[in-house]
Amino acid sequence: MFLTGVYVLSLFTFVVTLPSELRIGGLFESIHGFHGAAFNVTAEIINEDQSFMKDVRLEAQIETVPPYDSFVVAEKVCELVSTGVVGIFGPQSSDTTDHVQSMCDTMEIPHLAYRWDSRQRRGSCLVNLFPYPPVLAKVYADIVGEFQWKTFTLLYADDEGLLRLNELLKLFTMKPYHVTVRQLDEGLDYRETFLKMKKNGEKNIVLDCPAYILYDVLMHAQQVGVMGDDVSYIITTLDFTTIDLEPFRYSGTNITGLRMVDPENESVGKFVEVWNKHVAENGDEELEEITAENISVEQALLHDAVQLFTRSLYYLDNSTEIQSKILSCEKQSNWEHGYSLINYMKMSEITGMTGVIKFDHEGFRSNFMLDLIELTFNGLRKKGSWNSSEGLNLTLAAGEDTPQVEVMSLQNKTFIVMIALTHPYGMLKENKNSLVGNDRFEGLGIDIIHELSLINGFNYTFKVQEDKSSGNPNPKTGKWSGMLGEVLDDRAQLAIADITITREREKDVDFTSPFMNLGISILYKKPQKTPPSLFSFLSPFSPEVWWYVIAAYIGVSLLLFVMARISPLEWTNPYPCIEEPESLENQFSLNNSFWFSLGSILQQGSEIAPIATSTRLAASVWWFFTLIMVSSYTANLAAFLTVEGKSVAFKSIEDLANQNPPVIKFGAKKGGSTANFFRYNFFTLEGFKFIHISENLAVHA
């Protein structure tokens, strides 16, 4: 580690006026217990370093604080300054950090942080070693641009994650980018979120979540199918490489993240050595030994913060005599060297575990370098790097970023390949009698094996499975039958046919990617159209409607008869030549009333015409009713005569199984996955006759 600057060593000698013991204070939450250990380990490394501060010992004073209790944190700060600490490190909680920063500004005590903070401000006593958020957002934007994403999803876990992604979102507000923002479900189950993403076809994902839930999030994504060759992830956490990603190596998913701690860094090796020694000597069960590959960013940043502070303090002491000072929160007092030390740190440049530590003119760490890491079949692999001056730099060529899986050589080997004579996968040629060996067969499966043999240079011999059975395990012995049994018993090495990939088969047999995807369908003969019956003319109306029409017909006829009898106008002279007739005649007799109503229904006229106003009104209402009924009947009759009725023979599997006697014969390929599916999965349905369907499957296979 080197501090930039010009020192004339031949003319001047550094005179150290620092006290023999320097106290630095650390405020760490109980949930971050390893921070205190990293604090002590770094102090031990500095005390063992003979290159500077030979006569000064660094004393680390640690206080454990609750994450969100500002009052307790304030008390701990007062306790630390009363012991004469010259700098305070931590805590990590955003609520308590702001309170500590305010107190340090008042007393001019350097406050060093190593956390993501979107509210960093100039002119304070805070020195934050975490990369400046707007610059970090540009890193992710450069990766998105390199991947040429036009549509992607920003997936975050909490409010702080949304703030982080908001910086990235600002860079993609203009067209042609289409950005979807989603939040992970609360709790420990994230499958529902990924199911929604799968339904919407979201393939490009920027994932922001804490490192401690990253494994579960990716596992749930894999369980619901949001992984594969067409899915890509950009992980924003800088602890990406510390997570166990072994379960996702062979998913084919493009998982890319960033690394800030280079495992080959000399400072990293020294830290790992002292840490593991510290763990062995103290026997703390909460701490574990670490490697250079799984050091967290917070551990590394805390180490670098202590290194930056002590080296700046040491070199500043050569120009100004620095002494620690006991302060009190009850009195208005400050440390006169505080701002000088803070400004010196912001102008310094050292190399630590997180690379070059350098601040810009505003005091933010905007100059840093990150490694671009991707997950491959062979594990994590460095694909490139990013730095503030050059941006994103990929070190792998386009053809090198997809590692090849080690494949056993197939050259000049001979394999026995199982086939079934099932059209169109495997068939006998028409002139089979004049052919021998593999030349007797043709079909899709035959052609695939032939082309594979040309590519990989192997030989093959086809063996026919006479019963065409793919294979099933014996429930008692576990021994497989059919083609799969031949392969498992090493009587054949390969099998190609219409074999369905099932979970049970995958336990014992390795399958290639399917060359054809099929579904299960139920086929049955279409019922023939039956000739119309004698009374099919009644079909347009239901029986109830017909009964209502008959009742209306009778009622109207009787009503006309009664009204005509009552009305004097309906009584007429049958002989107009006789002025004083002895009797009058009424045209609406009972028979004529029924005849008049029937003629109206059949759209036929009659010589009977109502005379009185009452009978005319009743007849008009009846005529309007018959007009509507006849029009509806005519339209429905035409539809019934032209549209063929659909008859459904059965609606469910239960209908087939419960036939008594069985009219529709049903079945599936004997020994196939479809038959097994019905045999082992549907017997639990209420009222289902498992024995009956099994017999049908066996007979009609």
Strands 355-358 and 21-29: unpaired
Distance, CA of 204 to CA of 151 (rounded, Å): 7
Cβ atoms of residues 367 and 353 within 8 Å = no
Q: By three-state DSSP, how is residue 258 classified?
A: strand
Half-sphere exposure of 563 (CA within 13 A, CB side): 17
Q: By three-state DSSP, how is residue 93 classified?
A: coil
- Please provide the DSSP assignment of 26-86 as one string: EEEEGGGHHHHHHHHHHHHHHHH--SS-TT-EEEEEEEEE-SS-HHHHHHHHHHHHTTT-S
Q: Which two tokens stand for residue 672?
A: 């196939």
Q: What's residue 693's pLDDT?
A: 47
CA distances, 550 to each of 99, 554, 632 (Å): 92, 6, 16
- Please provide the DSSP assignment of 465-488 as one string: -TT-----B-TTT--B-HHHHHHH
Q: How open is the CA angle 152-158-161, to the nearest 5 degrees? A: 55
Q: What's residue 331's pLDDT?
A: 86
Give the residue numbers of the binding site. Answer: 500, 505, 673-674
Q: Which fold would CATH assign to domain 536-642? A: Helix Hairpins (1.10.287)
* CATH 1.10.287.70-classified regions of the chain: 536-642
CA distances, 297 to each of 35, 65, 124, 290 (Å): 11, 21, 24, 13
Sequence-distant (6+) residues with CB within 8 A of 410 are 456, 457, 458
Cβ atoms of residues 128 and 360 within 8 Å = no
Q: What's residue 186's pLDDT?
A: 84
Sequence-distant (6+) residues with CB within 8 A of 158 are 210
- Please provide the DSSP assignment of 483-497 as one string: HHHHHHTTS-SEE-S
* CATH 3.40.50.2300-classified regions of the chain: 21-131+264-363, 133-259+371-394
The CATH code belonging to domain 133-259+371-394 is 3.40.50.2300
CATH label, 21-131+264-363, candidates 3.40.50.2300, 2.40.50.140, 3.30.565.10, 3.30.110.60: 3.40.50.2300
- pLDDT tens, position by position, 135-191: 999 999 999 999 989 899 999 998 888 888 888 888 887 767 889 999 998 888 899
Cβ atoms of residues 224 and 105 within 8 Å = no
Which among 260, 335, 359, 273 is positioned nearest to 301, based on CA atoms?
260
Q: What's residue 677's pLDDT?
A: 67
- Specify the pTM: 0.59
Q: What's residue 216's pLDDT?
A: 94
Q: What's residue 611's pLDDT?
A: 83
- pLDDT tens, position by position, 526-542: 666 666 677 777 778 88
Give the residue numbers of the binding site for L-glutamate. Answer: 500, 505, 673-674
Cβ atoms of residues 87 and 42 within 8 Å = no
Distance, CA of 60 to CA of 42 (rounded, Å): 9
The strand ranges marked E within 388-486 are 391-394, 414-419, 427-428, 441-442, 459-464
CATH label, 414-506, candidates 1.10.287.610, 3.20.20.70, 3.40.190.10, 3.40.309.10: 3.40.190.10
CA distances, 160 to each of 32, 93, 165 (Å): 18, 11, 9
Sequence-distant (6+) residues with CB within 8 A of 15 are 318
Count the neighbouring beta carbons within 10 Å of the beta carbon of residue 660: 8
Cβ atoms of residues 311 and 298 within 8 Å = no
* CATH 3.40.190.10-classified regions of the chain: 414-506
Regions of the chain short of the pLDDT cut 50: 1-15, 397-399, 401-408, 684-695, 697-701
